[in-house]
């Protein structure tokens, strides 16, 4: 980082701390006891998949790794922004297993040299009256944020702030 970067307000990007994901099981307990939010058993990793054989090989390796435990197969989806989502599911819903699976995916992508393409990891929860929440880990910032969608491009900001306040001592959260 040079003087010009400091003057222009640029900062060195935070490197992802994949071990931060292992704080999610205790946060899940807090969500369950305080807000009656139950884990869905689903977690996902989003990344920008470059073209080519290398990423196809990594995706195949990740699928083989996660499918080896006999659980539900890993799903792949693409969103309208060009990101690929690998979705892992555990049954019954088990946050530690989901976190372990997501960590394995992230580690595989990092070791293959695709670390800069990582966007987020998320673990989802469902509450009474079908309230939906995801705890999202931003790789580039090294922080989590609660995401509570209520409809097409709409969020429950008040609920997100409530979750953030509840988990502020358990997870590194976005300010």
Of 5 and 141, the structure prediction assigns the larger pLDDT to 141
Q: Burial, 130: exposed, middle or buried (Cβ in 10 Å; 0-12, 13-18, 19+)?
A: exposed
Tell me the residue ranges of DSSP E strands in 70-117.
75-78, 84-89
Residues with Cβ within 8 Å of 144's Cβ and at least 6 positions away in sequence, in order, are: 20, 135, 136, 137, 138, 167, 171, 172, 173, 174
Give the pLDDT mean for 11-16: 58
| 73: three-class secondary structure by DSSP | coil
Q: Which of 92, 96, 94, 58 is nearest to 76 (CA)?
A: 58
Residue 10: the pLDDT is 61
Are the C-beta atoms of 166 and 35 separated by less than 8 Å? yes
Residue 16: the pLDDT is 63
Highest mean pLDDT among 32-36, 74-78, 85-89, 149-153 belongs to 32-36
Residue 98: the pLDDT is 92
Q: Which of 116, 133, 117 is nearest to 125 (CA)?
A: 133
Radius of gyration of the chain (CA): 17
Locate 111 and state its tokens: 């070791």
Residue 124: the pLDDT is 97
Residue 6: the pLDDT is 61
Instruction: Quote the CA–CA distance of 42 and 87 in Å, as a whole number.
Output: 7
Are the C-beta atoms of 144 and 133 separated by less than 8 Å? no
Instruction: List for the chain the helix, strand, coil content (%; round to 5).
Output: 40, 25, 30
Instruction: Quote the CA–CA distance of 100 and 89 in Å, as a whole number.
Output: 11
Give the pLDDT mean for 69-80: 78
Locate 118 and state its tokens: 């990582």
- pLDDT-based confidence at residue 11 (cuts at 50, 70, 90): low
Residue 160: the pLDDT is 96
- pLDDT-based confidence at residue 50 (cuts at 50, 70, 90): confident
Highest mean pLDDT among 6-15, 30-39, 89-98 belongs to 30-39
């Amino acid at each position: 980082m040079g003087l010009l970067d400091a003057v222009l307000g640029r900062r060195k990007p935070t490197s992802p701390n994949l071990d931060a994901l292992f704080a999610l099981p205790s946060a899940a307990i807090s969500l369950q006891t305080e807000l009656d939010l139950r884990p869905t058993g689903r977690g996902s990793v989003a990344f920008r998949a470059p073209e080519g054989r290398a990423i196809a090989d990594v995706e195949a390796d990740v699928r083989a790794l996660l499918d080896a435990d006999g659980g539900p197969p890993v799903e792949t989806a693409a969103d309208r922004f060009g990101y690929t989502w690998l979705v892992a599911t555990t049954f019954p819903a088990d946050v530690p297993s989901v976190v372990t699976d997501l960590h394995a995916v992230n580690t595989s992508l990092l070791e293959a040299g695709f670390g800069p393409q990582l966007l987020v990891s998320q673990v989802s929860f469902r509450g009474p009256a079908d309230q939906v929440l995801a705890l999202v880990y931003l790789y580039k910032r090294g922080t989590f944020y609660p995401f509570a969608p209520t409809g097409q491009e709409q969020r429950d900001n008040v609920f997100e702030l409530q979750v953030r306040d509840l988990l502020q001592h358990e997870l590194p959260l976005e300010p």
